[in-house]
Amino acid sequence: MPARRKLAAHVVPMLVFIALLALNAGAHKIDNRIWSPPEFWIYPLQTLLCAALLIWFRREYELERPRRLGFAAVVAVLVFVLWISPHAFFGAAPRFVGFNPDLLSTAGLYWPELILRFVRLGVVVPCIEEIFWRGFLLRFLIDDDFDRVSFGSFSWLSFSMVTIGFALSHSPADWLAALLAGAFYNAVAYRTNSLSSCIFAHALTNLLLGVWIMQTKQWGFW
């Protein structure tokens, strides 16, 4: 039973997160004012539900003190620059279509939605993704009893599959940046042997991206 709970702790939050993304995509296809725009209620639900799952399973995660924060921070900034570089430096078309909190400025929901959006971006997503990709799959592809594998253990199969899987879990417009990001976040795992350091690096990247989104209004990067 403890092994099943640990497996659930690493996988279930990601499955719920993906299911709600699928619900959001499906809701966009329904011409119904109650559903539109669906991200204004699905994203907060996703944030709160997934955060509750992370708290429920908190004892199953190996969240020791982060190590080599300087290295993790350098990786975080590098991934952020890679993510925005096509649009910031190479003239790619801007991505203005997406979750625009300005649409709620007259409804009194601007700040609650924006705060929850940043909690999702800077806390929930880094925790869920790092727990799944680096905490679970990077080890599971070495030994299906992943709890026996030390965090940060290396194999070419797990490195390659996690890097590719991480990239494909993002939108096609971000595949190249996400492929490089996946490799760099793997490097944080190998260098620090710390899930907490991976979460820190991912969270810092996302928070920098969130600030950049608010400055440029390129809501498609959410």
Each residue's pLDDT tens digit, 37-95: 788 889 999 999 999 999 999 999 989 889 999 999 999 999 999 999 998 888 888 89
* pLDDT above 90 (res 100): no
**Would you call 41 exposed, middle or buried from its count of C-beta atoms within 10 A (0-12, 13-18, 19+)?**
middle
Q: Give dist(CA 146, CA 144) in Å, integer.
A: 5
Q: What is the pLDDT of residue 205?
A: 98
pLDDT confidence band for 1 (50 / 70 / 90)? very low
Q: What is the pLDDT of residue 99?
A: 83
Closest CA to 170 of 215, 125, 115: 125
Q: Give dist(CA 6, CA 11) in Å, integer.
A: 9
The whole-model pTM stands at 0.93
Closest CA to 18 of 129, 155, 112: 129
pLDDT confidence band for 32 (50 / 70 / 90)? low
Q: What is the pLDDT of residue 56?
A: 97
Give the tens place of pLDDT for each residue, 188-216. Answer: 999 999 999 999 999 999 999 999 999 99
Q: What is the pLDDT of residue 33?
A: 57
Q: Give dist(CA 208, CA 47) in Å, integer.
A: 19
* pLDDT above 90 (res 169): yes
Q: What is the pLDDT of residue 38?
A: 80
Which residues are CB-contacts of 157 (< 8 A; sequence separation ≥ 6)? 141, 142
